[in-house]
């Protein structure tokens, strides 16, 4: 039985109990949200290392990190390093988007075996690697790949079943055409074969595979806009209507569903797009890439997109797919993963504060109190990225004696406003003490809104060396 089927039957599963602990809510509330399709628990029954989490607009906003090897760079060791970086810096899920870099099965299995967070994939990538040309893809091959990845323990899969033959002419006149990799592959297949999308025509068979292994659908937005000029066009919304129908079909098979959202949207259009998805897809969780709110900043798209992500989260998006500084430019390395996650953890947290999630701002209050008290070490400990905060402080004031200083190098001692304010309050004047009573141990905030980030249960994760050694043995056996 899937988590959805069990929730509908009134059962509170062990995964729901763990999620209730992490979100600080009643387990019955978790069950109700899952049963109604308003939240998903991506938890393949073969993923032994998983620490269960939930994605839904009534819970804390989550962040996904994309990793993956390409044709030209990266291998299994580097991918595991990126996985570790992603988890350490606060990814709630990761997607393995590998298209090269060695044995894709070994890379995927290593990621699943070593990840305490849900792992997602896009099966059509592997299927494309197995044929000489796109038009050679078959429904049988796609189903075989999907089933194999389900058996490996993949928790959710992006399935671009909403890209239909009749939608393709609607992309004419766009500035950037079809920018989704999966969407473009399927569009080419449809054009070459003059047949309907096989992921659409065989969708119920995919549902059966997902139900067997409890895999969650991440219905892909294959016709998403690739620039702000294309946002909200007829092609995007035609696909969305199909995704709404597919959502209900998956629910009929007791399979969990979240729906992927657009990548480039002007700021003023974001709330309306979130609301439209909610209406069309009956409240299924919305998982958005960005969106980027401007197209002028290659090299800084982790910033252009995190602006949109914060607005999307405030408007009801359940999970934000991070963008790194390398977006549109190259394959991200571990430092890019770190920078992308920092930008998106900020966006997710800011959205939760804006939405008045219980205790979300307690973290902000605690750090502000440490800042005012010039407790530098406490500031570092409470920071989203403690290593980065300490590194920047110590670039100009590295000595231990400066950890007690009542100033930093920006203003110096004479012009530090907080020191001046403290001295004024210590004098016999009208100003009195300030509030400094935040206790994070008593905060009702969800795990993701309390430091440190990346606080997953890793007790079932094997050592990296074991995973790499096992993968190497498999490769040698295949040879």
pTM (2 decimals)?
0.95
Cα 57–chain centre separation: 14
Q: Return the pLDDT at 74.
A: 65
Q: How large is the angle between the packed helices 203-213 and 234-252, nearest 10 degrees? A: 50
Burial (Cβ within 10 Å: 0-12, 13-18, ≥19) of residue 232:
middle
Percent of the chain with pLDDT over 70: 96
Q: Which own/partner contact pairs does 371-374 have at CB distance under 8 Å and 24+ positions apart?
A: 371/418, 372/418, 372/422, 372/434, 372/436, 373/436, 374/404, 374/405, 374/406, 374/407, 374/418, 374/419
Distance of alpha carbon 223 from alpha carbon 162, whole angstroms: 9
**187-237 tens-digit pLDDT:** 999 999 999 999 999 999 999 999 999 999 999 999 999 999 999 999 999
Cβ–Cβ contacts within 10 Å for residue 399, how many? 8
For the segment 13-21, the average pLDDT, to the nearest whole number, is: 98
Residue 448 has pLDDT above 90, yes or no: yes
Lowest-pLDDT choice from 9-18, 50-59, 76-85, 170-179: 76-85
What residues pair up with 67 in beta bridges, in sequence order? 96
**Using only C-alpha atoms, what is the Rg of the chain?**
23
Are residues 418 and 376 in contact, defined by beta-carbon separation less than 8 angstroms?
no
Q: Return the pLDDT at 479.
A: 42
């Amino acid at each position: 039985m899937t988590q959805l089927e069990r929730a509908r039957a009134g059962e509170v599963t062990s995964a729901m109990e763990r999620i209730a602990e992490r979100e600080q809510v009643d387990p019955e509330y978790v069950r109700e949200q899952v049963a109604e399709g308003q939240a998903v628990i991506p938890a393949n029954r073969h993923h032994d290392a998983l620490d269960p989490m939930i994605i839904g607009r009534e819970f804390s906003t989550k962040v996904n990190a994309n990793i993956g090897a390409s044709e030209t760079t990266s291998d299994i060791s580097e991918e595991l390093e990126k996985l570790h970086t992603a988890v350490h810096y606060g990814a709630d899920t990761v997607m393995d988007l590998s298209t090269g870099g060695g044995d894709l099965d070994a890379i995927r299995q290593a990621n699943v075996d070593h990840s305490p967070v849900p792992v997602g994939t896009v099966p059509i990538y592997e299927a494309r690697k197995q044929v000489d040309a796109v038009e050679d893809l078959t429904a049988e091959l796609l189903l075989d790949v999907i089933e194999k990845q389900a058996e490996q323990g993949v928790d959710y899969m992006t399935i671009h079943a909403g890209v239909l033959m009749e939608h393709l002419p609607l992309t004419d006149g766009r500035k950037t055409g079809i920018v989704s990799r999966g969407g473009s592959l399927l569009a080419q297949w449809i054009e070459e074969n003059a047949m309907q999308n096989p992921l659409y025509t065989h969708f119920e068979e995919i549902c059966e595979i997902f139900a067997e292994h409890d895999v969650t659908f991440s219905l892909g937005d294959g016709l998403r806009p690739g620039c702000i000029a294309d946002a909200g066009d007829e092609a995007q919304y035609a696909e969305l209507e199909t995704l709404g129908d597919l959502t209900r079909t998956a629910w009929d098979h007791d399979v969990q569903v979240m729906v992927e959202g657009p990548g480039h949207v002007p700021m003023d259009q974001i709330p309306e797009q979130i609301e439209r998805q909610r209406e069309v897809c009956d409240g299924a969780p919305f998982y958005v890439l960005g969106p980027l709110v401007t197209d002028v900043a290659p090299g800084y798209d982790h910033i252009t997109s995190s602006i949109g992500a914060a607005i999307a989260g405030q408007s009801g998006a359940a999970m934000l797919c991070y963008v790194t500084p390398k977006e549109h430019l190259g394959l991200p390395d571990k430092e890019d993963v770190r920078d992308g996650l920092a930008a998106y953890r900020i966006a997710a947290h800011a959205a939760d504060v804006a939405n008045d999630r219980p205790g979300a701002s307690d973290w902000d209050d605690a750090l502000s109190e440490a800042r005012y008290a010039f407790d530098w070490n406490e500031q570092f400990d409470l920071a989203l990225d403690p290593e980065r905060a300490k590194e920047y402080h110590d670039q100009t004031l590295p000595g231990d004696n400066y950890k007690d200083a009542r100033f930093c190098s920006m203003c110096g001692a004479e012009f530090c406003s907080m020191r001046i304010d403290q001295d004024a309050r210590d004098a016999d004047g009208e100003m009195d003490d300030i509030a400094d009573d935040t206790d994070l141990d008593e905060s009702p905030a969800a795990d993701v809104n309390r430091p440190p980030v990346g606080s997953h249960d890793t007790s079932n994760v094997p050592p990296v060396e074991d995973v790499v050694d096992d993968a190497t043995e498999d490769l040698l056996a295949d040879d």
